Structure 1
Amino acid sequence: MFSGHNGLIAAFYLSRGGKKVCLLERRHTVGGAAVTEEIVPGFKFSRASYVLGLLRPYIYEDLKLYDYGLKVYPRDPSSYTPLHEKFWKDSKARSLTLGLDETQNEKEISKFSVKDAKAFPKYEEMLNKIITSLSPLLDTHPPDLKQFSDANFIKKLHLLKDSSHIFTAAKNLGVDTSRFLQLMTAPISKILNHWFESEPLKATLGTDGVIGSMMSPSSPGSGYVLLHHVMAETNGKMGAWGFPEGGMGAVTQAMAKAATDSGVDIFVEQPVKEILVDSEGVVRGIKTEQGLEIAADLVLSNATPKVTFLDLIPKGKLSEDFEKELKTIDYTSPVCKINVALKGVPNFTADPNPNVIMPHHQCTIHLHCEDLNLIEEAYIEAKSGKIPKKPLIELTLPSSVDRTIAPKNCHVALLFTQYVSVNNEGKEIVDKNAYVQRVFDSVEEYSPGFKSLIVGFEALMPSDLENIYSDLLEGPTATLMGPATPITGLFLCGSGSHPGGGVMGAPGYISAKMVLSQ
């Protein structure tokens, strides 16, 4: 097995189910993209993944993560959108703050539109009903459509019985089925324009429809991206994201302790060179880059399908059609993650706060979100090979609630930014330093003095993220919806398997469950 958070979860369940499990990690630490690293001395960064919310509730319980020291600070308020000064004359307000308090939300939104304030609870109710109805589907492997089409009538009946949870979900959706289908297919701009008239509100909500993907608010399917991002739950609070104390690495370190205590053997700095497959197409183990061969009749890969099959499986073991589909997977990422060490707290012009931590510092701070068109323009500029004049920025300050990750009076700022222009191979075609400076200049416009607070930083462009973390920003393919693969004994347990990416844990759980049921 390979270790990211899904690999750790799968290892735990397999070991608990009686399997002898060896988990291998190519880096110096387990956790994949959910790690904490001290890039600038004294400052601990959630280097890639940076907020927790999608992790399935049963995984907390089964792995006893809180018993292993995990502590999560809920993010409430949840979002803060300061308006640039040039928008103040056209608005009754200078910022929009949203959270879990319905009364406060109504007050905030009413500053822009009383109509939208009344519509917002209904919008959230619609999303929550869809999420509640579909939630069980996240924890069960999807049906094999090819197997169904090839089966005889009796076999089809058995397959339908095994897929009864799908019909239950459809029944629970009821009259909201049409809204769900629209969310899955329509541009997020169409959905938000139907519900609201206020641009700052639409743009703030719209970021959840494009974040992490090379899509714009007008791209079909961006509604699904939004749905994926509003499934959060933290400390039992629906819709809440949180900051783990000590960074995201605290989550995977707790998972590693749970896995180790269940009997899993974990080895770091052991990159896998090849998955061993015999002449009958059956997995026989793995071979590391150091030449060590480990025999196994089951291998679970937390790497992407592309890496798993095109890099680790020997040539000639896969069909031409399957290889062709793998080569056409679009891994395009527009994201540059910038981890910044600050010697003070940013002061936002829209809500001045000299040297004082305010509630809006605990939010995800949305910049260049005064209008949906600003996001659209940034996307268009990136598609034409340019650095956006106004890049989309989500800025978090986890040190505003977690004082374990920065020196006294200092702060950690995590900037999740897009859009980075990339070529057909998914490699960025803009200068890294120029892009980063554009982002810093943008933050400076909202928070004068921000650049003077910078002690040090690290910028991870799409190619950097790909080289360091191979399982980011990915979802299932048409052929590989579930854990099973064309190679007997080989299963996928990472974000390339249903239900997809994010620190969710469901792919690892589903993969282990399938293995143990055989």
Structure 2
Amino acid sequence: MPSRYDAIIIGAGHNGLVTAAYLAKAGRRVLVLERREILGGCCITEEVWPGYKVSSAAYVNSLLRPEIIRDLELKKYGFEMIPRSPSSFTPFPDGRYLMMGPDKEITHREIAKFSPRDAEQYPKYEAMLTRVADFLEPMLVQTPPDPFAGLGNLWELGKLGYRFRGMGRNAAAEAVEVLTGAATPILDRWFESQQLKATLATDAVIGAFAPPSHPGTAYVLFHHVMGECDGVRGVWGYVRGGMGTISNSIASAAKRHGAEIRPNSPVARILVKDGRATGVALQDGTEFHASAVASCADANVTFLKLMDAKDLPADFVASVKTIDYSSATVKINVALSEPPRFSCLPTAGVGPQHHGTMHVCPDLDYIERAYDDAKYGKPAANPILECTMATALDATLAPAGKHILSMFVQYAPYTLKGTTWDAERDKFADRCFDILNEYAPNFKRSVIDRRIYAPPDMEREWGITGGNIMQGAMSLSNLFSFRPVAGFANYRTPIAGLYLCGAAAHPGGGVMGAAGWNAAREMLRDGR
């Protein structure tokens, strides 16, 4: 095996694989080094139990850039989306339920059960978010300009300002509020129904250690109208075969263009000489050399664990140390003998209520109280549950008649006060199961097996600092020209030839592939 390459990619997360595929397609000799035996980072499918193919971490898709699907011909390699309809189901303690999207007539009828006024308002609300998304979405595949650098950057900022002005005063004000504000005031202004507001608010806090009343949470709201599923905008879906199909299809495209991918190859050190990256060393001492190295790991891992601080400017290291990796998310994957049978919709077998995300979150105060527990170092006594059952639409994932439930839970902090996750992990999962059982009384007896990932487990398993699924907070101070830190948002680093290509860079978390694509473009622009 050769030891010299044009580019080395650290980590085979989906972004790293995208970077590798684009570089290889451009004729570069590329090596991808992945510490685990499986490719994909947090975008994986694992056979956790015999016959059960589980999307262990990420579980739904919409944001994967259509340009990447097209350019890399991912459908040739097995990538296939399954749209979800309905997309959302929320049962309530009083025996009612709310089922939403993407069918507009169904959504209108369902919201009207709780508030005819809200049913009329909802399309206008979505139109507002779409206006914001139309402005922001092109920025996802743009290299952020540095406002403190040369004239070219100022020109790019000027073009951005011109586009912003073109939105008009009212739409621009909406965009600023969505970018910087809290979700709760926006939802309160648009709607009166607690049931609708609670359902929508869960979209604002997904993966964040913040309640919807905190500034910055509104930014995530507009994501549900972004992306697409088979060309239909704003529709989220499952990936046939699980989320790992995304990573595997990108890896196949990269290999087709000549990239070499090595699993079970943990990088121990990025090699630097005279201020330039020269390659990497594995934990077993093996060295590989290249004129360019791109890290798909987060900034903490890349700069503070894989590098010697003396090779980096002190002010840069200080800035990296300020990145917020707070996490309050637990992921529980469950094998079931039958679907949850909700008391409010007690049909046997798979029904429309199982197609999309099943929310257990009765009102906004419920979210705030759950956050309050975590704020003081405790797992929420009454956590928010977001459950999906991909087997409702993809029977290839489990044995006949059996199902997989993905439970995404908030809030539960990385560090617990007065106890440890080893002591609390199963107790917290039991509490989550008790809550779901209150709405679907057959749930607990249908459980065959489960696997629980608390924030420290996510860090250990998937290499994400603090268990933060976004590789760092997605607040305004950590976005666009300030991600990962000010002055280094263009995928380059203080070390010549060293790049970031994962969610630590713009545009951040989510299964988009945009960070990997953008990084590859800048590397090629540098002649790497």
TM-score range, shorter chain: over 0.9
Amino acid at match of 1:496: A
Structure 1 contact 96–108 (Cα < 8 Å) conserved = yes
Rounded Cα–Cα distance in structure 1 between residues aligned with 2:501 and 2:485? 16
Aligned-residue identity in percent: 41
Rounded Cα–Cα distance in structure 1 between residues aligned with 2:222 and 2:120? 21
Is 1:139 aligned to 2:145, yes or no? no
TM-superposition CA deviations, 1:145-199 (whole Å, max 9, x none) = 231xxx4xxxx2x333344652353144323110111111211001100000000
Is 1:417 aligned to 2:414, yes or no? no
**Cα distance, 1:434 vs. partner?**
1.1
Q: Note the 1:266-285 alignment, pairs <5 A.
A: 266-278=261-273, 280-285=274-279
User: Which residue pairs with 1:358 in the alignment?
Assistant: 351
Q: Sort the Cα spacing of 1:13 and 1:163 in 2 relative to 1 into closer, same or farther, 3 A.
A: farther
Rounded Cα–Cα distance in structure 2 between residues aligned with 1:342 and 1:16? 42
Structure 2 contact 329–413 (Cα < 8 Å) conserved = no
Is 1:46 aligned to 2:55, yes or no? yes
Is 1:436 aligned to 2:411, yes or no? no
Is 1:305 aligned to 2:299, yes or no? yes
Is 1:502 aligned to 2:496, yes or no? no
Tell me the number of residue pairs that the alignment of Structure 1 and Structure 2 aligns: 499
Unaligned runs of 5+ residues in structure 2 are 1-8, 473-482
User: Which residue pairs with 1:7 in the alignment?
Assistant: 16
Rounded Cα–Cα distance in structure 2 between residues aligned with 1:95 and 1:306? 43
Q: Note the 1:375-454 alignment, pairs <5 A.
A: 375-423=367-415, 431-454=424-447
TM-score (norm 1): 0.94
**Cα distance, 1:410 vs. partner?**
0.4
User: Which residue pairs with 1:179 in the alignment?
Assistant: 174
Rounded Cα–Cα distance in structure 2 between residues aligned with 1:285 and 1:68? 30
Is 1:288 aligned to 2:290, yes or no? no
**Cα distance, 1:329 vs. partner?**
1.5
Q: Which moved more, 1:440-449 or 1:377-386?
A: 377-386
Rounded Cα–Cα distance in structure 2 between residues aligned with 1:508 and 1:114? 44
Structure 1 contact 137–165 (Cα < 8 Å) conserved = no
**Cα distance, 1:482 vs. partner?**
2.8
Is 1:66 aligned to 2:68, yes or no? no
Amino acid at match of 2:391: S
**Equivalent residue for 1:96, pick from 98, 110, 117:** 98
Rounded Cα–Cα distance in structure 2 between residues aligned with 1:32 and 1:229? 23
**Cα distance, 1:474 vs. partner?**
2.3
TM-score (norm 2): 0.92
Cα-Cα RMSD: 1.6
Amino acid at match of 1:126: M
Rounded Cα–Cα distance in structure 1 between residues aligned with 2:155 and 2:182? 34
TM-superposition CA deviations, 1:281-310 (whole Å, max 9, x none) = 111111111111111110000000110000
Is 1:324 aligned to 2:332, yes or no? no
Rounded Cα–Cα distance in structure 1 between residues aligned with 2:148 and 2:86? 46
> 2:339 is paired with a residue of what secondary structure?
coil
Is 1:474 aligned to 2:471, yes or no? yes
**Cα distance, 1:424 vs. partner?**
9.0
Is 1:374 aligned to 2:366, yes or no? yes
User: Which residue pairs with 1:107 in the alignment?
Assistant: 109
Structure 1 contact 231–239 (Cα < 8 Å) conserved = yes
User: Which residue pairs with 1:257 in the alignment?
Assistant: 252
Amino acid at match of 1:358: G
User: Which residue pairs with 1:122 in the alignment?
Assistant: 124
**Cα distance, 1:75 vs. partner?**
1.2
Q: Sort the Cα spacing of 1:322 and 1:203 in 2 relative to 1 into closer, same or farther, 3 A.
A: same
> 1:134 is paired with a residue of what secondary structure?
helix
**Equivalent residue for 1:335, pick from 319, 329, 333:** 329
Rounded Cα–Cα distance in structure 2 between residues aligned with 1:168 and 1:504? 26
User: Which residue pairs with 1:91 in the alignment?
Assistant: none
Amino acid at match of 1:438: R
Q: Sort the Cα spacing of 1:284 and 1:134 in 2 relative to 1 into closer, same or farther, 3 A.
A: same
Rounded Cα–Cα distance in structure 2 between residues aligned with 1:139 and 1:35? 24
Q: Which moved more, 1:236-245 or 1:466-475?
A: 466-475
**Cα distance, 1:70 vs. partner?**
1.3
Rounded Cα–Cα distance in structure 2 between residues aligned with 1:428 and 1:189? 32
Rounded Cα–Cα distance in structure 2 between residues aligned with 1:262 and 1:16? 5
Amino acid at match of 1:19: R
